[in-house]
Amino acid sequence: MQKQDRSRMSVLLVITAVGVLAMLASDRALVMTAAQTRFVGGDPIRPDSSDMRALRLRFEAGARSNWHSHAGWQIIAAEEGRGRTQVRGERVIELFPGGTPNYTAPGVVHWHGASPDEHVVQLTFMGGPPGADWFEPVSDGAYRGQ
């Protein structure tokens, strides 16, 4: 009788193991299928991004950086409030949540900060080599777009 019980137990263990393996395999197939349906034309490749940096800066109303340039590129966007940016010799660009982010190429002299009457929380993304060259303060006239 004990031998028969052991045989039954062995059969039950094998059936249970096969069932568990079948469930795991079907779950893995579902996960793989779901992941494959997130992209059309193949999965994207993730290039090295170790040279990228991101940070938040809060400028109070009227506050702004001096004129400066970065060794690498920079993308800025307003997360909260209203901001401004300007490339030297060009017009002032307003930054606001949901607005178009602003790209500045390496070596381009510019400034950024808050609007005259409202703070801004600025999202800053930088890539390429670190470092910046700093120049004179932005005049009130340039800040006002004059």
Domain count, the chain: 2
Would the pTM of this model clear 0.75, i.e. be above it? no
| One domain, residues 84 and 125 | yes
111 and 86 Cβ atoms separated by less than 8 Å:
yes
Q: What is the pLDDT of residues 128-144, one digit of tens each?
A: 999 999 999 999 999 99
Torsion, Cα 71 77 82 84, to 10 degrees, reads: 30
Q: What is the pLDDT of residues 2-43, one digit of tens each?
A: 666 555 655 555 565 555 555 555 555 455 555 557 888 888
CATH classification of the domain holding 103: 2.60.120.10
Residue 91 belongs to what domain range? 53-143
Q: What is the pLDDT of residues 58-97, one digit of tens each?
A: 999 999 999 999 999 999 999 999 999 999 999 999 999 9
> Phi, psi at residue 16, to the nearest 5°?
-65, -45
d(CA 54, CA 32): 31
| One domain, residues 31 and 78 | no
| One domain, residues 71 and 38 | no
| One domain, residues 118 and 97 | yes
Q: What is the pLDDT of residues 54-66, one digit of tens each?
A: 999 999 999 999 9
| One domain, residues 139 and 95 | yes
| One domain, residues 69 and 135 | yes
